[in-house]
Structure 1
Amino acid sequence: MTAPDPVRAGRALNGAAAGILVLEGIATLFVPRGIAQDGDGLTPGRLTYLLLLAVVLILAAGVQRRERGVLIGTVLQVPLLLTGLLNGVMWFVAGAFVLIWLYLLQVRKDLLGSPLGAPRVPEPGHEDGGTTPTP
C-alpha cells in the first residue's frame, strides 16, 4: 500500500519525525536531574554528553526535510538508548522513543515504499509507485 500523494505523505512523516526528535531532546534534558541524585552523581563528562545529545537531537529535527534527515534521526536513536547506562529509567524512556521511531519507519515503508529514502512518485497508470514491469 502506498499513499495516494507520496510527496505530501513524506512531508507529513518528516514533520512527525521532527516532532519525535524534539521530544527526545527535551526528555534528554531531564536526565541530569535524575543522575545527580544517585551513584557517582553528575560528572562533567556525563553532563556534556547529555547536553550535546539534546542539542544534536533538536538540530536533527531541523534537517528532517533533507534527503538524509530520517537516516540521521535513526542513527541518533543509538546514543539516546545508551543514556540508559547513565540512569536506569532512561532504558524505558529511550526504549519507548526508539519503539515509536521504529513504528514511524514502518509507516514510512508502508506509505512511501522505503523507510529511509525519499518518497517514490507513482508513474502514470501505476498506483503502487513501483517501476514498470519489463516484458
Structure 2
Amino acid sequence: MRATDPVRAGRALGGAAAAILVLEGIAVLFVPRGIAPTEGLGAFRLTVLLVLALLLVLASGIQRRERGLVIGTALQVPLLATGLMTGAMWFVGGAFVLIWLYLLQIRKELLGSMFGPVTVPGPDDADGAATT
C-alpha cells in the first residue's frame, strides 16, 4: 500500500517519530529517580542519562531532515542499554524500540523506504518514475 500523498504522509510520520523521541527522553529522565535509592546515583550515571535524554530531545527536532530517522534509530541502542542501570528500563526501552520499529515499517509501506527521501511521482511521468 502506498500513500496517495507521500509528502503529507512523510510529514506525519516525521511528527510521530519526533513525538516518540521526546517521550523516550522523558522516560530516560525518570531513571535517576528509580536508581538513586537502591543502587546509588553517581556522577557518571547521572551524566550519561542526562546526555542521552538531551540527545533524544534534540534528535526529535531534526526529524524533518533526511538523516533524522537514522540518528533516531541509532539512539535506540543506548536507550535499550539503560536497562543495564535498572531492570525496568529493559521493558520500557524495549517497548519504545518496538514502537520505533513499527513506525519504520509503516514508513516503508507508505513511502517505499525506511530511511530514504520522500519520493513523489511527477505529473508528466507516464512510466511512474518518482522524483524527489
Q: Report the TM-score when normalising by structure 2.
A: 0.92
How many percent of aligned residue pairs carry the same amino acid?
Answer: 70
Q: Distance in 1 between matches of 2:124 and 2:25?
A: 43
Give, in whole Å, the separation in 1 of the partners of 2:129 and 2:87.
Answer: 45
Distance 1:102 1:47 in 2: 28
Show structure 1 runs of 5+ residues with no match.
none
SS in structure 1 opposite 2:121? coil
CA distances 1:12-48 after superposition (whole Å, capped 9, x unpaired) = 0000000000000000000001111223x11110000
Structure 2 residue runs without a partner (length 5+): none
* Number of equivalenced pairs: 129
Structure 2 residue 90 is the aligned partner of structure 1 residue 91: yes
Shift of 1:121: 1.0
Superposition RMSD on alpha carbons, in Å? 1.7
What code does the residue aligned with 1:38 have? T
Q: Establish whether residue 105 from structure 1 lines up as the match of residue 98 from structure 2.
A: no
State the TM-score, normalizing by the size of structure 1. 0.90
Instruction: Give the whole-Å Cα distance in 2 for the aligned partners of 1:55 and 1:7.
Output: 29
Return the alpha-carbon distance in structure 2 between the equivalents of residues 76 and 130 of structure 1.
34
Tell me the residue number matched to 1:27: 27
Ranges of 4+ aligned residues in structure 1 off by more than 4 Å: none
Matched with 1:48 is: 47
2:120 aligned counterpart, secondary structure: coil
How far is 1:125 from its partner?
Answer: 7.4
- Quote the offset at 1:124 in angstroms: 3.8
Q: Which amino acid aligns with 1:7?
A: V
